[in-house]
């Protein structure tokens, strides 16, 4: 019988091996043009479902962490990133209040159950410092529709609203909820040039036309300090 880790390894290789360089280039632009606002000033960042490190490898902070079961992870992730090869819904080997940011992209929908999602969000809440944030990017089934199920390992249908509710139930405070943000997927498609990505991010009306992934940003309560949007 194929193990979950072996299946994940095979799926990742099939989808992304030929596109790795292009994906890294796209994420370099996304981080610089958008997600850097959440990383700025952080001391400790964890990439939840980090895969081959397309996000965490390109984030420069003193302490970097990743969680993923992919057996190929150690081959691709920077050596100074501490990688936890475990299920995300199991207790994380980190102290309470030790992280400034938990980032996750296209991951939560792969978990085995809603209970697993709640346990994962609970670990994120525990490990984040007060005022720290969780940034979630993922496909919204309201807009992805049938294409959502074109990936064999999509399990839980999520929307921006349902994920926001789950975050609130855990104790998070939603800071920004965008139900239509990025296009659905780059898998099997030619990566757009950097200038096109930057132009898209500056044009919210284009999000309403092309966006099929949500962006949900939530923080752990504890201060009236302003939260970058």
Beta bridge partners of 139: 213
Q: Give the per-residue pLDDT at 127.
A: 98
pLDDT tens column, 38-63? 999 999 999 999 999 999 999 999 99
Low pLDDT (below 50) residues in the chain: 1-2, 10, 12-18, 188, 224-229
- At 5 the pLDDT is 56
Which of 129, 121, 138 lies closest to 67, judged by CA?
121
Give residue limits of the domains in the chain.
4-219
> What percent of the chain is helix, strand and coil (3-state, nearest 5)?
40, 20, 35
**pLDDT tens per residue, range 79-94:** 999 999 999 999 999 9
The total of other beta-carbon atoms located within 10 Å of residue 104's CB is 23
Task: Read off the pTM.
Answer: 0.87
Q: For domain 4-219, is the CATH number 3.40.50.150?
A: yes
Per-residue confidence (pLDDT) for residue 72, from 0 to 100: 84
Residue 203 is predicted with a pLDDT of 97
User: What pLDDT is attached to residue 189?
Assistant: 60
Note the pLDDT of residue 73. 84
Please tell me the predicted confidence (pLDDT) of residue 65. Answer: 98
Task: State residue 22's pLDDT score.
Answer: 84
């Amino acid at each position: 019988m194929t193990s979950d880790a072996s299946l994940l390894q095979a799926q990742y290789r099939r989808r992304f091996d030929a596109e790795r360089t292009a994906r890294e280039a796209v994420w370099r632009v996304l981080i610089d043009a958008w997600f850097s606002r959440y990383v700025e000033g952080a001391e400790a960042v964890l990439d939840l479902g980090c895969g081959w490190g397309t996000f965490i490898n390109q984030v420069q902070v003193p302490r970097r962490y990743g969680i993923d079961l992919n057996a190929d992870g150690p081959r691709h992730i920077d050596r100074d990133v501490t990688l936890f090869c475990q299920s995300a819904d199991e207790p994380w080997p980190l102290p309470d209040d030790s992280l400034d940011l938990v980032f996750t992209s296209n991951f939560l929908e792969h978990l085995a159950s809603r209970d697993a999602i709640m346990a994962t969000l609970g670990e994120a809440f525990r490990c984040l410092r007060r005022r720290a944030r969780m940034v979630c990017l993922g496909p919204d089934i309201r807009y992805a529709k049938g294409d959502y199920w074109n990936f064999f390992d999509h399990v839980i249908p999520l929307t921006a609203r349902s994920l926001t509710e789950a975050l609130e139930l855990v104790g998070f405070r939603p800071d920004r909820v965008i139900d239509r943000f990025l296009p659905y997927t780059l898998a099997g498609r030619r990566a757009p040039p950097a200038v096109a990505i930057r132009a898209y991010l500056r044009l919210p009306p284009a999000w309403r036309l092309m966006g099929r992934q949500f962006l949900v940003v939530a923080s752990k309560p504890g201060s009236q300090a302003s939260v970058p949007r």
